[in-house]
Structure 1
Amino acid sequence: MLYGGIEAGGTKFVCAVSDENLNILERVSIKTTVPEETMKEVFEFFDKYKICAIGIGSFGPIDINKNSKTYGYITSTPKKGWNNYNFIGAIKEKYNIPIAWTTDVNAAAYGELKKGGAIGLNSCIYLTIGTGIGGGAVVNSKILEGFSHPEMGHILVRRHEEDNYEGKCPYHKNCFEGMAAGPAIEERYKVKAYELEKNEKAWEIEAYYIAQAIMSYVLILSPERIILGGGVMKQRQVFPLIRRELKKLMAEYVEMPNLEEFIVPPILEDNAGIIGSLLLAKDIEI
């Protein structure tokens, strides 16, 4: 059997086909423009294969409520052309196969649990910190979903005492994403995150916001591992600062795991989303 996977990002779509052992036979990267153009290339890729199921991890917000009239849609995205786009409907018009549908970060969390940095565990949270901040959770080996999917980047955080930055989020200003995503770093310091490598104070402030968010996730979900991906987290010097700040914030209220093993970068790196999408396709009961 062959499985298809789509990691649908705001910048690019990664499409892949794998065998039953998740060996990738072919993968392509397609620029995200407008649906008519992007999906034409997606279909041209999958038309070459007889896939039995497909897994999709998409940028959002998306509708994951199967009882909703807009199930399978990308909903209120600012991405031109994709607002209220019937993604699942477009796939079903082409292929009469089972479809797994979730967010890109949920797919990445699932990939890391099954094949990456959380192998052997039953739960994990995957955070991507880059142009925006998104989070996915796997609990008892199942993706966490309710009436919608988690929006972990938009929890509120306390402002660092040395930070006068107002916040970048157009909805909430000083939410986690508004204070700690790449655009907030760039606007605050007038340089890209990777140019701040030696600015320890900047990374201490960044770690303060990330640790606050992790504290909330830990107290609510108690995941067995936190995996931090995305462009900002390629600056590995921030990991020890996050662990130190989390320990301080928790104040020994709950007994924590070994933080060196608890807060880690992704093993699958930039492949977490597409591997997770393929795994979701394989795990559908056909």
Structure 2
Amino acid sequence: MIVAGIDAGGTSWKLIAAKSPGDILARTTIPTTTPTETISAAAGWIRKLRSEGCPIEALGLASFGPIDRNPKSKTYGLIGATPKPGWTGANPHQMLEDAAGLPCILDTDVNGALLAETMWGAGKDLSSVAYITVGAGIGGAATVAGNLVGAPEHAEFGHIKPARTDDDRQVFAGSCPYHGDCIEGLASATAINARWGLSPEQLPDDHEAWPIVADALAQLSVSIFYLIAPQRIILGGGVMKRAGLIDKIQARFVERTNGYRVRPEADHADAYIVAPGLGGDAGVLGGLYLALNAARTGQT
């Protein structure tokens, strides 16, 4: 069976047509602009592939949010209050399904990445895993005993508030329009740009930003560790591509837990807090997982 997996991010949409992670037939990336423009481009790519003989049968949409992922809800598929201009109140699920003329399975981008990682990546064979994505925003998801935390809704780990020094708080109030200096407001690409006037890619490795970002993400990891005690924490997203950042997070995690463990796995932070096994494809393979799993269970 050939399906389309879609990672609908706040900066870009990544799409693949595939039978499995090892059998990807085509891929493309589309800038995230307005809902109409972005979804029209995505649906156009899918229709073009089908017209050329690629028999895509279903779509898996792993979308940025907040988004209503509950199929029984009256607002299923609607994006809630988001800093992304023009997207609040949009329904990318329904719009894409209508434009492409194919059944579409929806979940959050981070849920999708987590599910893909537990099937094929760094969370394989584990029943309790947390996934954090650090990009334009910060999202989080977790499974406990194989079940998604928060289902049928979804969690928002990025809006937890970390501890800060008074001096640092006076320097930067945080960029989150809702909570100021939550994790997202301090460690996302948006926050980095707001505080230092440069994108993460433009900052040198020795810039003062990285210890601050690492500490915020380490505090988030500690909170997840103590709240749900997952067997592993996976950190993905564009900001996490920075060489050495995960090492800094691991070191701060060790310092902040200070020897108080709730799982023996955390005795080895370098194996407990890890990068996605699927690399930069974790999100789009999340979309693939959604579509393939729906077909397997008869949801499409």
Q: Same fold (TM over 0.5)?
A: yes
Q: CA deviation at 1:174?
A: 1.5
Q: CA deviation at 1:216?
A: 0.8
| Alignment match, 1:129 | 134
Q: CA deviation at 1:249?
A: 1.7
Is 1:261 aligned to residue 268 of structure 2?
no
Residue by residue over 1:141-197, the C-alpha shift from the partner in whole angstroms, topping out at 9 and shown as x without a partner, is: 443333521111101111046524221211111211112222333343444434241
Distance 1:98 1:145, change over 3 A: farther
Distance 1:30 1:144 in 2: 30
Residue by residue over 1:193-217, the C-alpha shift from the partner in whole angstroms, topping out at 9 and shown as x without a partner, is: 3424113x54333222111111111
Distance 2:193 2:221 in 1: 22
Residue by residue over 1:66-93, the C-alpha shift from the partner in whole angstroms, topping out at 9 and shown as x without a partner, is: 2221101223234343321222322443
Larger deviation: 207-216 or 22-31?
A: 22-31
| Alignment match, 2:149 | 144
Residue by residue over 1:43-86, the C-alpha shift from the partner in whole angstroms, topping out at 9 and shown as x without a partner, is: 22222143333211011111112222110122323434332122
- Structure 1: gaps (5+ residues): none
- Does the aligned pair in 1 maintain the 2:174–2:182 contact within 8 Å? yes
Residue by residue over 1:246-276, the C-alpha shift from the partner in whole angstroms, topping out at 9 and shown as x without a partner, is: 1222233324422110111223222111111
Query: Alignment identity in percent?
Result: 37
What letter corresponds to residue 278 of structure 2 in structure 1? L
Larger deviation: 103-112 or 238-247?
A: 238-247
Which of 197, 207, 210 is residue 205 of structure 2 equivalent to? 197
| Alignment match, 1:282 | 292
SS of structure 1 residue aligned to 2:127: coil
What letter corresponds to residue 269 of structure 1 in structure 2? G
SS of structure 1 residue aligned to 2:70: coil
SS of structure 1 residue aligned to 2:45: helix
TM-score between both structures, scaled by the size of structure 2: 0.85
Is 1:31 aligned to residue 67 of structure 2?
no
SS of structure 1 residue aligned to 2:168: coil
Distance 1:163 1:16, change over 3 A: same
| Alignment match, 2:117 | 112
The count of residues paired between Structure 1 and Structure 2 equals 285
Structure with higher helix content? 2
SS of structure 1 residue aligned to 2:259: coil
- Structure 2: gaps (5+ residues): none
CA-based RMSD of the aligned residues comes to 2.3
